[in-house]
A and B are shown apart, each in its own frame.
Chain A
Amino acid sequence: MSGALRSVIALVLMASAPAAALAQSHASSHVSSGAAGHVSGGGGRVSTPSAPAAPPAQSHGFSFPNESNVRPIAVPRPVAPPVSIGTGASHAPTKYMHSPVNGNVTGGPYHGQFHGRVIYNPRRWGGWGWNRGIHWYPAPIYWGGGFWGPFGFSGLGAGLLFGSIIDYQDQAIYPSYQIEPSSPGAELLQNYGLQQTECGPPNLVVIWGPDNSVICAYPNDLVGAGNYELDPTTLTIVSQS
């Protein structure tokens, strides 16, 4: 089949929504879930296409008619009160606000207080060695800058909460979520032999990551309970002073 004919066939398939739905019915044998990236949602129903082919895309660059002057999505506020207890006190009042997300800030209520013992990563990574030498930069619209997984703020809700840290003094809540197995955060926990658990109960390893994100883990022989700040360059953690 010539390339031109193949292109024409593809354009016919994409002419309209019904045509697209028909294409979907044939797609399952060609596509796996990996190609879907992080598009979520259930499968759609297929209807029989009947609309004629639409003309090819216009020239003059790209067309995004609905995207002008749209503000970026903001971090959802407030967060539903956590089920688990915070720092030993009772549940946080419902008016407590989601913690401020700031790409330049980490450590939550303990910001700037991590001057304690450095617990070196057993893998002894050099600078960005864990990332094949590639500098890791946070992506601001994702929880933890994407360090713990590709979790856009738009998709995170109370239903996905995995505990939280409550700052009663500043009346802020720092939510936590389950990390993705293939994320840099998962690499970190694996290196230290830590197992993630829900934040909230006392005597846990509390690791503060990029953008004021936080996850918790059970202590082990290498890492005792307490607050730690992550150094993403070497995947090293530093304890609070």
Chain B
Amino acid sequence: MRFRPIRPRAYALFAAFAIATISAASAKGVTLVQQADGSVRTYVDVNIRLSGQTLWLRSADRKGVLKIGNGACSFIGAIQRCLPYTVALIQDGKTRQIAILHGTVFLNLSKTAQHLPLSSEELAPRTILALWRTVRGTYVTIKGSIDEVAP
């Protein structure tokens, strides 16, 4: 049986729903990775640390770390929006760069829930929502509470 690959907007809707479902059960971050062939992997209990404008995601088994370099951080209301431009996978003693095309990182570092820009969707306090697409067509979506914020 052939399956039509999910288009970007459809993927985003699915990812947001899936994230919302899982994150309600997990206080920590949830990461969805959809490959260009449509296969999806989900990583729950991801530790999320924000250091300056760099985002660090550590897998639940502590064997993998994603380092996301962000720039162009500015505010839309109380939501901070950054643009990711580098992603590195640190795993098995190696660091591998993952080339990305574009993405967005939304951060709510305030103490109250905030609406995402042009949306009725709310981001809980100290929560992050990040989405990006790689050069190879992989979509990554991350949502969860920020476990640590360092200057």
Chain A residues near B (Cβ < 8 Å): 3-4, 6-7, 9-11, 13-14, 16-18, 20-21, 23-24, 26-28, 30-45, 47, 50-51, 54, 56-68, 70-73, 131-132, 134, 136-142, 145-147, 150, 152, 154-155, 182-184
Q: How far is the CB of B132 from chain A (nearest CB, A)?
A: 8
For the A-B complex, the count of residue pairs with Cβ-Cβ distances under 8 Å equals 261
Q: How far is the CB of B133 from chain A (nearest CB, A)?
A: 7
B8 near A182: Cβ-Cβ < 8 Å: no
B13 near A24: Cβ-Cβ < 8 Å: yes
Beyond A131-B74, A142-B102, whether A50 also contacts B1 by CB under 8 A is: yes
Q: How far is the CB of A70 from chain B (nearest CB, A)?
A: 5
* Contact-size category for B: 35 or more
A38 near B131: Cβ-Cβ < 8 Å: yes
CB contacts under 8 Å to A, within B42-96, are 42-44, 53, 57, 59-61, 63-66, 70-76, 80-85, 89, 91-92, 96
Chain B residues near A (Cβ < 8 Å): 1, 3-14, 16-18, 20-22, 24-26, 31-36, 38-44, 53, 57, 59-61, 63-66, 70-76, 80-85, 89, 91-92, 96-104, 106, 115-121, 129, 131, 133-139
Q: How far is the CB of B143 from chain A (nearest CB, A)?
A: 9
Chain B CB within 10 Å, residue with most, of A40, A65, A68, A139: A139
